[in-house]
């Protein structure tokens, strides 16, 4: 081992030790790190006495849209959901045929303590009924493009302690949305209704879809991805205020995809983090602690790391590029163990998402402008618009749906 590597490892150990001491001895530091995931009100679901008797249209049937619809229904408000695709869920989807366990094609991790699942549905029980897995990977490696090296176990332990994450064991985020939200409101969804225009010049809002159909409502909640708004695929009349447009364009909403590859044997670790200047690129064991027989390795690429893949002509070529890289890491084992089966879910080039998740932090002013309604007629919800800075998460999207409804009802409170 070179002197350079020895010095680097010594520095890393010092850094990790210092971080551990800081987090243990100074609770305020840990609070600062965890603050963004605990900053929302403890009571997420509540009843608001009101006298609003108008109609609300929700644009988009993803996590935020379904959550908003559920709260409106609980409050006896008339609503309708316009969904651009032929299914609900947005960036939350699942596959049940590829492996002997369901696979999250979109959002997969629970970026919070598992109790958030209870809080989101106003269930105060201490034990969640669906099995979850602490995502505590200790067999982790680093790939810089040429060198494959094991990461510090101490670092992994500290990371999990400071920022705990979970995954569903036998179910998915899609099942969660379906059970607690979609099942209650899906009869109100109009599918294949691609909204292209929202006119809020009058006392009521007029919404026009691509096929020319028009809908009217007293209030509208827009829950489409920020990628759709950045591309101005929905025209607003009047045009949104300059500060709101600036806030929307400031969001770093990067392209990305998930590639799932099936192998005859597990030759890879729990997690391989790849060097990338921005965004994310990881190979990960999709079957991690699921007790499954099927061996599935996932590639999650988001941001600049997708550029080389997007230059390729087909899904198969993207697969071949991934296998080639794995063969370099594992001396040809990937190609030998590959069964020929794979799945590719490309969110970055999906016409109704145009990206993955919000990748940058935002100032308080920017968050306020992102979530700010238009004339108290058009409201916004989704992971990008979460004012508690729980962005990039499913639970953040759900909370933003709640927040939009409570803000909508605020002027009509009777107590």
CA distance 382 to 4: 46
- Token code pair at residue 343: 């799945």
Q: Residue 166, exposed/middle/buried by CB under 10 A (0-12, 13-18, 19+)? A: buried
Q: Residue 150, exposed/middle/buried by CB under 10 A (0-12, 13-18, 19+)? A: exposed
Q: Both 236 and 365 in a single domain?
A: yes
Cis peptide before 346 (omega within 30 of 0): no
Q: Both 263 and 338 in a single domain?
A: yes
Please give the share of the chain, as a percent, with pLDDT higher than 70: 85
Q: Both 338 and 260 in a single domain?
A: yes
> Which CATH number fits the domain that encloses residue 55?
3.50.50.60
Identify the three-state secondary structure at position 386: coil
Q: Both 211 and 228 in a single domain?
A: yes
pLDDT band for position 157 (cuts 50, 70, 90): low
| pLDDT tens for each residue of 292-340 | 999 999 999 999 999 999 999 899 999 999 999 999 999 999 999 999 9
- How confident is the model at residue 298, as a pLDDT? 99
- Per-residue pLDDT averaged across 82-91, rounded? 98
40 versus 277: the higher-pLDDT residue is 277
User: What's this model's pTM, rounded to 2 decimal places?
Assistant: 0.89
The mean-pLDDT minimum among 71-80, 118-127, 170-179, 312-321 falls in 118-127
Q: Both 315 and 360 in a single domain?
A: no
The mean-pLDDT minimum among 74-88, 143-157, 319-333 falls in 143-157
- How confident is the model at residue 9, as a pLDDT? 41
Q: Both 271 and 409 in a single domain?
A: no
Q: Both 286 and 340 in a single domain?
A: yes
- Per-residue pLDDT averaged across 251-277, rounded? 96
- How confident is the model at residue 388, as a pLDDT? 82
- How confident is the model at residue 26, as a pLDDT? 40
| pLDDT tens for each residue of 192-241 | 999 999 999 999 999 999 999 999 999 999 999 999 999 999 999 999 99
CA distance 40 to 126: 19
What region, left, alpha or beta, does residue 271 occupy, with left being phi > 0 and alpha being psi -120 to 50 degrees? beta
Position 68 in a domain? yes
Please give the share of the chain, as a percent, with pLDDT higher than 90: 73
Q: Phi and psi at residue 211, in whole multiples of 5°?
A: -85, 5
- How confident is the model at residue 147, as a pLDDT? 86
- Token code pair at residue 172: 């998915």
Q: Both 74 and 178 in a single domain?
A: yes
| pLDDT tens for each residue of 277-301 | 889 999 999 999 999 999 999 999 9
Average per-residue pLDDT in the chain? 88
Q: Is the pLDDT of residue 264 over 50?
A: yes
- How confident is the model at residue 278, as a pLDDT? 87
| CA-closest candidate to residue 342, choices 129, 174, 98, 140 | 98
The mean-pLDDT minimum among 50-64, 94-108, 133-147, 263-277 falls in 133-147
CA distance 179 to 175: 6
CA quadruple 295, 354, 389, 298: dihedral, nearest 10: 10
Position 323 in a domain? yes
| CA-closest candidate to residue 79, choices 195, 176, 192, 215 | 215
Identify the three-state secondary structure at position 65: helix
**Where a domain ends, among 346, 370, 403?**
346
Q: Is the pLDDT of residue 128 over 60?
A: no
- How confident is the model at residue 145, as a pLDDT? 85
Q: Is the pLDDT of residue 92 over 60?
A: yes
Q: Is the pLDDT of residue 124 over 90?
A: no
Q: Residue 128, exposed/middle/buried by CB under 10 A (0-12, 13-18, 19+)? A: middle
- Token code pair at residue 66: 């379904």
Q: Both 341 and 193 in a single domain?
A: no
Position 305 in a domain? yes
334 versus 361: the higher-pLDDT residue is 334
**Where a domain ends, among 322, 346, 370?**
346
Q: Is the pLDDT of residue 66 over 70?
A: yes
- How confident is the model at residue 123, as a pLDDT? 64
Position 327 in a domain? yes
- How confident is the model at residue 149, as a pLDDT? 85
pLDDT band for position 362 (cuts 50, 70, 90): confident
CA distance 251 to 253: 6
Q: Is the pLDDT of residue 23 over 80?
A: no
- How confident is the model at residue 17, as a pLDDT? 44
State the total domains in the chain: 2
Q: Is the pLDDT of residue 24 over 50?
A: no
| Residue 290: domain span | 132-168+256-346
* Alpha carbon of residue 408 to chain centroid: 24
């Amino acid at each position: 081992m070179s002197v350079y590597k020895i010095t680097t490892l010594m520095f890393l150990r010092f850094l990790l030790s210092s971080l551990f001491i800081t987090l243990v001895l100074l609770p305020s530091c840990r609070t600062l790190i965890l603050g963004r995931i605990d900053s929302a009100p403890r009571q997420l679901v509540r009843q608001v006495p009101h006298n609003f008797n108008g109609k609300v249209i929700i644009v988009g049937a993803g996590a935020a849209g379904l959550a908003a619809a559920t709260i409106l229904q609980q409050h006896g408000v008339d609503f309708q959901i316009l969904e651009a695709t032929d299914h609900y869920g947005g960036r939350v989807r699942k596959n049940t045929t590829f492996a002997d366990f369901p696979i999250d094609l979109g959002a997969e991790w629970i970026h919070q303590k598992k109790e958030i699942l209870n809080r989101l549905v106003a269930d105060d029980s201490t034990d969640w009924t669906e099995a979850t897995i602490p995502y505590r990977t200790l067999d982790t490696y680093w790939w810089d493009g040429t060198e494959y090296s094991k990461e510090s176990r101490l670092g992994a332990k500290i990371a999990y302690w400071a920022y705990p994450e979970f995954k569903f064991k036998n179910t998915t985020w899609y099942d969660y949305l379906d059970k607690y939200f979609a099942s209650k409101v899906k009869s109100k969804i109009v599918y294949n209704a691609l909204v292209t225009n929202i006119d809020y010049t009058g006392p009521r809002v007029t919404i026009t879809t691509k096929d020319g159909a028009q809908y009217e409502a007293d209030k509208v909640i827009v829950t489409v991805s920020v990628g759709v708004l950045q591309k101005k695929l929905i025209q607003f009349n009047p045009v949104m205020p300059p500060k709101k447009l600036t806030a929307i364009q400031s969001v770093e909403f990067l392209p990305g995809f998930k590639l799932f590859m099936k192998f005859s044997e597990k030759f890879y670790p729990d997690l391989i983090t790849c060097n990338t200047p921005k965004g994310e690129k990881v190979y990960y064991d999709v079957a991690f602690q699921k007790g499954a027989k099927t061996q599935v390795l996932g590639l999650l690429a988001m941001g600049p790391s997708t550029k080389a893949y997007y230059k390729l002509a087909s899904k198969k070529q993207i697969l071949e590029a991934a296998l080639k890289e794995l063969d370099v890491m594992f001396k040809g084992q990937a190609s030998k163990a590959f069964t020929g089966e794979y799945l590719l879910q490309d969110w970055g080039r999906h016409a109704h998402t145009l990206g993955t998740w919000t990748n940058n932090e935002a100032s308080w002013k920017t968050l306020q402008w992102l979530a700010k309604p238009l004339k108290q007629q058009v409201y916004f919800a989704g992971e990008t618009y979460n004012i508690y800075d729980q962005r990039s998460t499913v639970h953040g999207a759900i909370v933003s749906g709640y927040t939009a409804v409570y803000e909508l009802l605020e002027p009509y409170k009777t107590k």
